[in-house]
Amino acid sequence: MVRAGDDEKMPMVTALVRTAFLVDAVYAQAAREHGVTAQQGQLLCVLMAHPLGMSDLGPMLGLAKSSLTGLVDRSARRGLVERVPDPSDGRAVQVALTASGAALAETFYDDTCARLAELAGRLSGTERGRLAGLLARVVEANEVPAVFD
């Protein structure tokens, strides 16, 4: 096991796991400070571009139908999202941000991006670019949906 202070570099798997924990912690802290859960924050960010159907949201957020329904219901009760008719299918609905949800999404997104950018603050511009390129390749190779774009 590699410990802090060892001269050896941290193994890649360990670095990925610890980075995931770090990003999750930063994201969760930002969500708490904005008065939403981390999942609500993800939902708001995903909907910033445009309304989406439940069948699109489930895979993007990695949620089963019942969990997604609960998330949307709780977010709707808070006035952050609303269900609107799907313009391409009269039988379906989409989830859209309300005006207050859009305002919160923007401030949450901007704040979270700034916090996440600080994580690489000690890296040079070249190193940040290299890290972004490598992580993009991992994400693309694993077909990770665009949740926080």
> Is the model more confident about 133 or about 8?
133
- Residue range 18-39: mean pLDDT, rounded: 96
Q: How confident is the model at residue 3 (pLDDT cuts 50, 70, 90)?
A: low
- Residue range 38-63: mean pLDDT, rounded: 93
The architecture of the domain spanning 35-119+145-149 is Orthogonal Bundle (1.10)
Q: Express each pLDDT in 76-114 by its tens digit.
A: 999 999 999 998 888 889 999 999 999 999 999 999 999
pLDDT number for residue 24: 94
pLDDT number for residue 148: 65
Where in the chain are the domains? 35-119+145-149
Q: What is the DSSP string of the chain?
A: ---TT-SSPPPHHHHHHHHHHHHHHHHHHHHHHTTS-HHHHHHHHHHTSS-EEHHHHHHHHT--HHHHHHHHHHHHHTTSEEEEEETTEEEEEEEEE-HHHHHHHHHHHHHHHHHHHHTTTTS-HHHHHHHHHHHHHHHHHTT---S--
